Structure 1
Amino acid sequence: MPWFRPVPPTPELLKAQVRAFSRQVPMMYALVLVNTIALSATHLDNSPPLLTLGFPGLLGVISLVRLVTWWRARGTTIDQAGAKRMLRQTLVFAGVLGLGFTLWAFSLFPYGDAFTKAHVVFYMAITAIGCVFCLMHMRAAAFLLTAIVVGPIAVFLLASGNPVLTAIGFNMALVAIAMLVILLISYRDFSNLVESQRGLEERQAEIQSLSDDYLRMANLDGLTGLPNRRQFFSRLQRVTDQAAAEGRRFAVGVIDLDGFKPVNDAYGHAVGDRVLVEAGERLGRNHGQPLFVARLGGDEYGLIIEADLAPEALQRLGADLCAALREPYCFPGVTAQVSGSVGFAVYPQAATAPNLLYERADYALYHAKQNIRGAAVVFSADHETAIKTAGLIEQALRHADMDTEFRLAFQPLVDIRSERTVGFEALARWTSPTLGVVSPGDFVPVAERSGLIARMSPVLLSWALDAAKTWPEDQRLSFNLSVRDIASPEQIARIIEIIELSGVDPGRIDLEVTETAVMRDFDQAARSLAALKALGVRIALDDFGAGYSSLSYVHRLPIDKLKIDGSFMRGLGAADKRRAIVKTILDLCRNLGLDCVVEGVEEPEQLVLLRPLGCRVVQGFLFARPMPGEAVAGYLAAERGEADAVELRSAG
């Protein structure tokens, strides 16, 4: 029968019973021992020693052992097999001890007067009731004890023939029945409570699992499985707090992949995603230092190095990381090549706040990409000075009066075959009332990073077009567009409107963009350049060779001209590899039908080396430095005069 099942049907109910018994069973055995000692004491004078000392002593020792066993079980973890064993033993001992104490009590009943006999009846009744309630969480043991103890004594009293004892027996039977009903109800409620608690625990486990999943999703990058930007900054805050409390140093790094955009564009996003995953795995290798690696977004990764490393050690670590990223990425049918640049900032030298540490590392990365791409840069005092200078420049730019502080200078582009100027590039010049003359190399990057260039470009373009209206029709105007310009459809629409209203033939205008500007958002850049091309202007790719020099841009964008970066001209020699690179670019332009301009020509020797390569148009200090707009007419007149004089001498 299920009522007498010794072991509960579910593990949860089993564990609940053991927990309850570990508190109640010691109390039951203590009750039995105290009541047994009291009954033995009242029969010492009128009962045999075997009944007052021997038999109850044996039963008492067994009860004491069981009491100690269950007492030790309190607060300890018992496995399921052990719990089943203890419950089965409880059932057995309930039957054995119940039978033993019942027989002992019946053996004592004939001895003594009416009071001692009443004590036996009371002992049987009260002890049984107490034990049954202590066993209420184990239905089988409670029923067994009731049947062995209460049943016989009730029958004995009912059959005694004594009206008082018969009434007591009847009352005991009623109490036993009521007690069993209460026990069944209590056991049912106990089982339901355990089942409800189990269901609640399961729901809590599900909720916890969902919470863990959401937490994992919120803190892990879905593509690479690395910690994401949120987790990176959370950990950076904790590490910074610990370092401040313990007075130790650590470093923050920011890594950006060089050349990832061309790979993504050439091979598709699937290959690009695999590159990002493998790049994360390479960064997570054992590089000899405790690295925490996170993907911050796009092709940018963050590092936290919890070690006190000198700048030289950070440089070596950065070189190791960059070398790992430079290894070819080999996938079925595709071999991709990218590299990485990394910037480091050390706590507390660079900064003490987490966000400033990251910004310092990001600035070091920016410096690496601008100057020594594919290498590591550690933020230094010089960089701190540069940041402060950039901050002063930005503040001055924000309050600058364009009309009074800015002007344009124009540098000629010269056809070295005809030795005639074919156009001018407009270059911005700024004299701040607080900072004095500020180099374009200083204020243009600040203007681009701060977004102020979007306000400056339309004004400068308008000035350049006003100047170009005064030039001969065969003179072209070159004007540089920034990242912000080509990334904004609204800004492109404004530039088109300015050109249309200027009265300058769009066919005389060259708009220059850099590879960096194109890479920020290739699709938007392509749309912007297509809109400008449709207007009739020509598009030049500036600083070619200094960046990624991806032929995919030349192929996929509406480009009319390449401008070879002036860095190739510095120290150019006949046997220099840079000369071979310049020749290759010139040949490429001829094969694709593109114009080509070589920048940075400052020495006659450079011109001697360029002529045999097929170079035609150059730009540099060899011919003229950038000049004010009002000086252009005189420059062109002097050039024409010299050309006329040469022609006259030749004719003479």
Structure 2
Amino acid sequence: MAFLRLVVWLRAPLAESLSEAEADTRIARTQILAFVIASVFIGWTIALDWSSNGVSRDHVVVAVAATMLSCLLCLMQAPKVAGMVATSVVVPFFIYCLTLGSLSAIVIAANIALVAGVVVKVLGGSHRMFVDLIRSQQALSEERHQASRLSDENQLLAHTDPLTGLPNRRHFFARLDACLRKREAETQAQFCVGVLDLDRFKPINDTFGHAVGDKLLGEIGRRLSAYAADDLLIARLGGDEFGVLIDGGGESACRRVQALREAVCAPVTIQDAVLRVGCSVGLASYPDAGRSAHALFDRSDYALYHAKSHERGQCVIFSREHEALIRDEHRLETALRHADLDGELSLVFQPIYEARGIGMTGVEALARWQSPILGQVAPDRLIAMAERLGMINQITRILFAKALAELPRLPDGIGMNFNLSVHDIASPETVHDLIGMIGESGIDPRRLTFEITETALMSDCAAARATLGRLRKLGARVALDDFGTGYSNLGMLHQIPLDVLKVDRSLAAEMTTPSGRAMIAAIRSLAQSLSLECVIEGVENDAQLAEVSLLGCRYAQGYLLGRPMPMGTLLRAVREDRRHAQPESAAA
């Protein structure tokens, strides 16, 4: 029986996964088996002693004690089974010794019982220590698991945008770096980096509030997340800008981005308001556009800038033409950073005429930059780069000082218009400096008109109202330039202190058509109702000038009347105008 039990035990699997219930069942079965085996063996042992009439009792006692203690030690990790074995052996043997009536047998049985009790007690303590060790290991394992889970959750939170649920900027660039490392060994494998920017989001945010803007971003994030896949990552980079990583070349990536654009452009209903935004996308392909994360992202951002400037609402793929433009922009940036602005910047002046009398009433000061490195730089490029580099306020101060120096050379009846950028209006320090320069020059502020664009008003209406109010309080006038294009907002005309509306040249080009005449007439009526003067820009032929007079617009400006010119040339033009005007007045 012992041999068969040993064979079964040796053949049992060394590592077997058991549930708690299965383990309890096996322990209970082992207790029963231990009771049976111990009872059988002690019965056999007592029978041997009884049949030998005590001759072999010493052997029996040694066998009982040694075998029992050996079994108990083997059952160290199962103290209940060990107790069952001890009880099954000691109790029958002690009763047998009592029936013999031999004092020595009773003492031996009692001694065996005490030793068995002590051993069972020690085994119980050892088992409790073993259980405590296991429980501490389980607790430590649970703590490690909990710490690992919390670490995973923190890692997820650190790489997730809380507003949209999309991956955030950190995750986007980590994936971009991983894509680059993977592609180092796969020279033919292409992927694209894209930047998606919402159009018309800022007006919605300003009109309905940031809470509605956040809900709109959240809804757009949920829509975009539906398109995420193993080969398409969509992340929120910040604000209303999203990043895209797409496997494949530029053309296939552009087709997949089209689905994202359609999802973004679909209307969203928030608080009973139906909101619509568009989006523009810039894409840069690896390895054509670059082989580093910085190069790829910069080029996709430049493609986005090109899309918003020239192809709003479209997807633009970075190309070699864009690379040439970037190099040109870098040259322009370097030249502007190292330019002697006071020496290289100058002003030219374009006259503004009274349409019916053809008399000059004012001039507009226009910036010019003659770079020793680049030559003559277009004014729009100069202003755009200066705004990007944060140098526009410095340039405005230099040009305004030059304008104030030239203004006294003009006859008293002629004023000067000076353009302010959105950054000038948003800078109280710049406006304070301009006002101080006017005071120091001693020039009558009423001869000055500051021109602003609708973009400047849209960027921060409150700041624009405060800034322009300070200038008008000083005595200067304010003109809204390029009216009729961009974000024309008629309601804003009531909020901003204005004196003049300058109608954009694009409308002047159509004023000889019925629809164009109707548009100019409507703007002239609007200006009259608001007590604003109206200047038509872009007058380039006699027919347009005639229409300006017929429509009742008082002032005109354009190449027909005079191109931008240096002050000396302008003064000669003024003298020539007055020379022609004198004979006419004498004849009259």
TM-score tier after normalising by the smaller chain length:
0.7 to 0.9
Aligned equivalent of 1:233: 173
Structure 1 residue 571: Cα displacement: 6.9
Counterpart residue type for residue 354 of structure 1: A
Counterpart residue type for residue 293 of structure 1: I
CA contact (8 A) 1:98 1:148 kept: yes
Aligned equivalent of 2:125: 185
1:636 equivalent among 574, 579, 585 = 574
Aligned length: 584
Q: Distance in 1 between matches of 2:494 and 2:48?
A: 113
Alignment of 1:73-472 (within 5 A): 73=16, 76=17, 78-106=18-46, 117=60, 120-121=63-64, 123-135=66-78, 139-149=79-89, 151-153=91-93, 169-197=109-137, 199-200=139-140, 203-204=143-144, 207-208=147-148, 210-247=150-187, 248-286=189-227, 290-305=231-246, 307-311=247-251, 313-472=252-411
TM-score by length of 2: 0.87
Change (3 A) 1:379 1:526: farther
Specify the SS of the correspondent of 1:437.
strand
Could you tell which deviates more after superposition, 434-443 or 580-589? 580-589
CA contact (8 A) 1:124 1:150 kept: no
Could you tell which deviates more after superposition, 210-219 or 366-375? 210-219
Alignment RMSD (CA, Å): 3.4
Could you tell which deviates more after superposition, 502-511 or 361-370? 502-511
CA contact (8 A) 1:263 1:272 kept: yes
Counterpart residue type for residue 251 of structure 1: C
Could you tell which deviates more after superposition, 468-477 or 199-208? 199-208
Specify the SS of the correspondent of 2:451.
strand
1:479 equivalent among 407, 418, 421 = 418
Change (3 A) 1:142 1:129: closer
Structure 1 residue 455: Cα displacement: 2.0
Structure 1 residue 509: Cα displacement: 2.3
In structure 1, the gaps of 5 or more residues are: 1-55
Q: Distance in 2 between matches of 1:101 and 1:573?
A: 125
CA contact (8 A) 2:71 2:82 kept: no
Could you tell which deviates more after superposition, 344-353 or 290-299? 290-299
Could you tell which deviates more after superposition, 374-383 or 485-494? 485-494
Structure 1 residue 461: Cα displacement: 1.0
Counterpart residue type for residue 243 of structure 1: R
Change (3 A) 1:618 1:332: same
In structure 2, the gaps of 5 or more residues are: none
- 1:28-69 deviations in Å (ceiling 9; x for gaps): xxxxxxxxxxxxxxxxxxxxxxxxxxxx2xx54355445544
Structure 1 residue 463: Cα displacement: 0.7
Specify the SS of the correspondent of 1:473.
coil
- 1:294-329 deviations in Å (ceiling 9; x for gaps): 222222222222x21334x44444444444433333
CA contact (8 A) 2:363 2:416 kept: yes
1:558 aligns to 2:497 (yes or no)? yes
Structure 1 residue 365: Cα displacement: 1.4
Structure 1 residue 627: Cα displacement: 0.8
2:14 equivalent among 61, 71, 82 = 71
Change (3 A) 1:279 1:550: farther
Q: Distance in 2 between matches of 1:580 and 1:242?
A: 62
Q: Distance in 1 between matches of 2:112 and 2:467?
A: 100
Counterpart residue type for residue 562 of structure 2: A
